Amino acid sequence: MKKTFLLIVAVLFSVVAMAAKYSQTTHIQTGGKSREVFIYVPDCYTENRPLVISVHGMNQDIAYQKSMAQWEKVADTANFAVVYPQSDGTQWDINGMTDINFMLDIIKKMSQDYKIDESRVYITGFSMGGMLTYHIINNVADKFAAFGPISGYNLWGANYDCSRPVPICHVHGTSDSVVNYNGIEAIIKGFAQKDNCDPTPEVTQANNICKKTHYKNGDCETEVILYSVQGRDHEPTNNGFHTTKALWDFFRNYTNGCGKINATGVSLSLSESIGEAPATVTLTAKATLPEGASVKSIEFYQGNNLIETVTGEPFEVSVADLEIGKYEFSAVMTDNQGKTYNSAKKSFEVKAPQAPYNGVASVLPGAVEMENYDEGGEGMAYHDSDDKNEGNSYRKSEGVDLEEFETGKYALGWTKKGEWVEYTLEVKYDDEYTWTAYAASGSDGSSFKLYIDNEAISEAISVKNSGDWQTFREYTGKTGELSKGKHIFKVGIEADYVNIDKVEFKAVNEHVETGLLTVGNNANRDGEYEVYSLNGTLIDVINISGTSVEDALKTNKFAKGSYAIRKKGGTRSEVIILK
């Protein structure tokens, strides 16, 4: 009996030893250092095959990640290479480029030595390795085909800034005691929105302990999946739910290009998802067919109405003069055998043109108050990482986060990298302007950048830690020559968590006002008054009783700027400058 057992062990050992072309620890040069990696290339491996990089967590190592993830077992049957990298110390660099460059050097090395398919490189990481995975999404999404974070995300807030639609499959235990599960559902929803997936996910049970939340039909056929493993703590295990197999089943569908691998059918993409009325959108169809089949035609639809039938490349049409509202587009492909394929429906929203808040532009010279950003909504007048106004004290129905730091005074707050807000300016003089921004931060590393007409008027402005979020410090600079008239001012967030109160502009040269008649703002004019923008648009009707015009306008939340007021039923209008 003992002899038989020893023979079996010997045979098994022989099989394992023969199962890989390469299976050992080595080192890769990166950033002037020699970094440790474990490379596994299965015996079945052929050139032009995928690569999976599996990243361990904080205070862990390659051996632990290998023992838990066990990617080699999947690689043996699916024919791909695996690399387990080791951190430099106990942590990964999830703020800078050191470990991103390490991953890129791994890809370069594996391409040189094993001729991997660089369009099919996948990265997955546990805990801090998951955080690194999201950091890679934000910085070099085009270098990886799909992403598989496990029990890790940015604890300081999500950043959805990435260079392309990103396929993500995230696995997380609902009882995670280290990286709380409660934060991940909103992050997954945010990336699904970024990818332009269907707004309502398909929710099913992957097995008896795991819920699958599946967002489909994103741009370039991207999908975003969250596997919620009931009762699992902070561990990269395959017990109960096989994390590694689930990730590979997801990964294998994607390259770093647009569209799934070998998906037979037709996909539809839109040139943009939001437009300004009257809007134009371009619809582009991509056909994928088996060898020997060809496209006979592709029909493009708006709702149930045929737009156009296209019989040759490019399979593309444009739809113009769309008014305010929401639209659905789809495509139907017919092949040379008469078989038809339907694309997923894609949504397009047309919004009102961007306009100054309450119809009144910020006047330069003067201050641009951050709470008075333009009207037009998400994607037009601003971009915010979610649709919630965290301060919930001013413009409550919109997604820009505003904090009331003093009674009646508001600052831009809860900011995240990639967010921006825009303001219509009315520049009074042809001149250069100095600017002073008032910003605060209770953390290190925050920054923002300023633009006029999409041209930068500053570098990234690093904000010093002021100890709290209400102690505003001054940051100064100067514009180039600005012409008199309308311009668009933009504040872009370069790094998380800066509060901004306002930006003041002063003309470099002295200007004497001529031809502008104003009335004293402090005069009392009891009665009901119509308030107009200077282009004649009625903004509001206000009651003035026992107070000055200036105080009445401020009470009614009017921004600083110029207005025309007229007593209701009267015929004489007067110009008011609210300072």
| pLDDT tens digits for range 253-288 | 999 988 788 667 888 888 888 888 899 999 999 888
Q: What's the N-to-C CA distance of the chain in angstroms? A: 97
Q: For residue 141, give the 3-state DSSP assignment.
A: helix
Q: Given this chain, do its domains 19-251 and 265-351 carry the same CATH topology?
A: no
* Cα–Cα dist 345/326, whole Å: 13
What's the residue count for the chain?
A: 579
Instruction: Please state the pTM of the whole predicted model.
Output: 0.57
Helices (H), 296-350: none
- DSSP code of 357? G
Beta-sheet pairing, 346-351 with 274-276: parallel
* CB neighbour class for 442 (10 Å; exposed up to 12, middle 13-18, buried from 19): middle
* Cα–Cα dist 549/542, whole Å: 10
Helices (H), 19-155: 62-69, 71-78, 98-114, 128-140
CB 433, CB 507: distance < 8 Å: yes
- Ordered DSSP codes for 254-278: B-SSSSBTT--EEEEEES-SEEESS
Q: Which CATH superfamily is domain 265-351 in?
A: Immunoglobulins (2.60.40.10)
CATH number of 357-507: 2.60.120.260
Mean pLDDT confidence for 378-382: 90
Nearest alpha carbon to residue 83 among 107, 119, 49: 107
Nearest alpha carbon to residue 395 among 374, 415, 379: 374
- How does pLDDT run across 163-198, given as a tens digit for each residue? 999 999 999 999 999 999 998 999 999 999 999 999
Note the pLDDT of residue 535: 62
Which strands, in side-by-side order, build the sheet including 265-270?
265-270, 279-288, 316-322
CB 381, CB 375: distance < 8 Å: yes
* Cα–Cα dist 20/15, whole Å: 10
Beta-sheet pairing, 51-55 with 121-126: parallel
* Cα–Cα dist 226/247, whole Å: 11
Residue 536's pLDDT band, with cuts at 50, 70 and 90, is low
- Ordered DSSP codes for 437-471: EEEE-SSSSEEEEEEETTEESS--EEEP--SSSS-
Domain 19-251 annotated CATH 2.60.40.1180? no
Note the pLDDT of residue 475: 97
Burial state string for 154-179 with b = 16 or more CB within 10 A and e = fewer than 16: beebbbbbbeebbbbbbbbbbebeeb
Beta-sheet pairing, 51-55 with 81-85: parallel
Q: Which amino acid is at 211?
A: K
- How does pLDDT run across 277-325, given as a tens digit for each residue? 899 999 999 888 877 889 999 999 999 999 999 999 999 999 999 999 9
Domain map of the chain by residue range? Answer: 19-251, 265-351, 357-507, 527-578
pLDDT of residue 10 exceeding 50, the answer is: no
Residue 19's pLDDT band, with cuts at 50, 70 and 90, is low
pLDDT of residue 69 exceeding 50, the answer is: yes
Cis before 365 (ω within 30): yes
Note the pLDDT of residue 6: 33
CB 404, CB 432: distance < 8 Å: no
pLDDT of residue 514 exceeding 90, the answer is: no
- Ordered DSSP codes for 378-425: BTTTEE-SSS--SS-SSSTTSSS-EEEEETTEEEE-S--TT-EEEEEE
Note the pLDDT of residue 5: 31
